[in-house]
């Protein structure tokens, strides 16, 4: 049964019902396909304006302006204080403190490890391995130090420290490999202890010689 024209609402009436409502952006293009009915329809669209893009730069300018005014409000002694130099000094102090903590932590770990190796050798009735391993480690440390000097020539100031670091790293690997062997190789452990002990002795001796050189240089400058 066909519907009469009076029962079907006209398109203009539908448009009047739809006016004032909010539709997505693609609905606007759908209604614009009808050229004979150009009724304005409000659509909800999120458009970024130029002012919104300018807000971050404006906020940054306000923050910079506030920082400048805050700095100008400080008294002159605060402004003239060498903050950059103080920052460098504090950073150097922290690095020096960290180096000392690491150094003495390694020394304490070495002492505890050596004592545990000695106690283990005594418990297994292998006391003769203690002096033998220490002697071999000391001789090997001197040999490696001289060899590293020939292979890695460097200046007098930082050369000895670099050679000692390389030699100490080698004996640390010796001790670690001794712990990973089956049953634990006590001779390798004592060799590592002897090498690290010799490296520690050479390091202390180099610091004493450097301190004596600095003292003599200061006296010569005073004279």
**Which range marks the domain in which residue 179 is found?**
112-212
Q: CA 188 to CA 136: how far, in whole Å?
A: 10
Q: CA 150 to CA 11: how far, in whole Å?
A: 99
**pLDDT the model gives residue 53:** 45
Alpha-helix runs per DSSP H in 32-128: 50-73, 76-80, 83-123
Looking at the chain, the whole-number percentage of residues with pLDDT higher than 90 is: 10
Residue 101 lies in a domain: no
Give, as one character, the DSSP assignment of residue 183: T
Residue 43, SS3?
A: strand
Q: Which residues contact 28 (CB under 8 A, 6 or more apart)?
A: 41, 43
Residue 45 lies in a domain: no
Q: CA 20 to CA 12: how far, in whole Å?
A: 14
Q: How many domains does one find in the chain?
A: 1
Q: Is the pTM of this model over 0.75?
A: no
Q: Given a cut of 50, is residue 42 above it in pLDDT? A: no
**Nearest to residue 40, comparing CAs of 52, 58, 23, 60?**
23
Half-sphere exposure of 22 (CA within 13 A, CB side): 3
Q: In this predicted model, what pLDDT tens digit does every residue of 153-203 receive, in sequence order?
A: 654 555 567 778 888 889 989 888 888 875 568 888 999 999 999 988 888
Looking at the chain, the whole-number percentage of residues with pLDDT higher than 70 is: 63
Residue 80 lies in a domain: no
Alpha-helix runs per DSSP H in 124-182: 129-151, 156-180
Residue 23 lies in a domain: no
Residue 148 lies in a domain: yes
Residue 174 lies in a domain: yes
Half-sphere exposure of 137 (CA within 13 A, CB side): 30
Residue 119 lies in a domain: yes
């Amino acid at each position: 049964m066909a519907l009469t024209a009076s029962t079907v609402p006209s398109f203009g009436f539908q448009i009047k019902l739809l006016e004032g409502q909010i539709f997505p952006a693609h609905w606007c293009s759908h209604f614009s396909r009808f050229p004979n009915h150009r009724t304005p329809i409000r659509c909800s669209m999120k458009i970024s304006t130029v002012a919104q893009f300018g807000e971050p730069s404006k906020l940054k300018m306000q923050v910079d302006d506030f920082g400048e005014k805050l700095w100008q409000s400080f008294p002159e002694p605060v402004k003239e204080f060498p903050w950059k130099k103080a920052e460098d000094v504090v950073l150097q102090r922290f690095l020096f403190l960290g180096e000392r903590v690491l150094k003495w932590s390694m020394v304490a770990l070495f002492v505890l490890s050596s004592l545990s190796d000695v106690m283990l050798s005594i418990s297994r009735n292998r006391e003769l391995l203690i002096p033998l391993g220490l002697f071999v480690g000391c001789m090997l440390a001197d040999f490696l130090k001289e060899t590293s000097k020939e292979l890695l020539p460097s200046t007098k100031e930082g050369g000895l420290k670099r050679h000692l670091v390389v030699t100490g790293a080698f004996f640390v690997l010796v001790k670690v490999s001794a712990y990973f062997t089956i049953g634990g190789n006590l001779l390798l452990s004592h060799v590592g202890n002897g090498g690290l002990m010799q490296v520690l002795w050479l390091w202390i001796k180099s610091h004493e010689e450097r301190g004596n050189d600095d003292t003599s240089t200061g006296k010569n400058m005073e004279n």
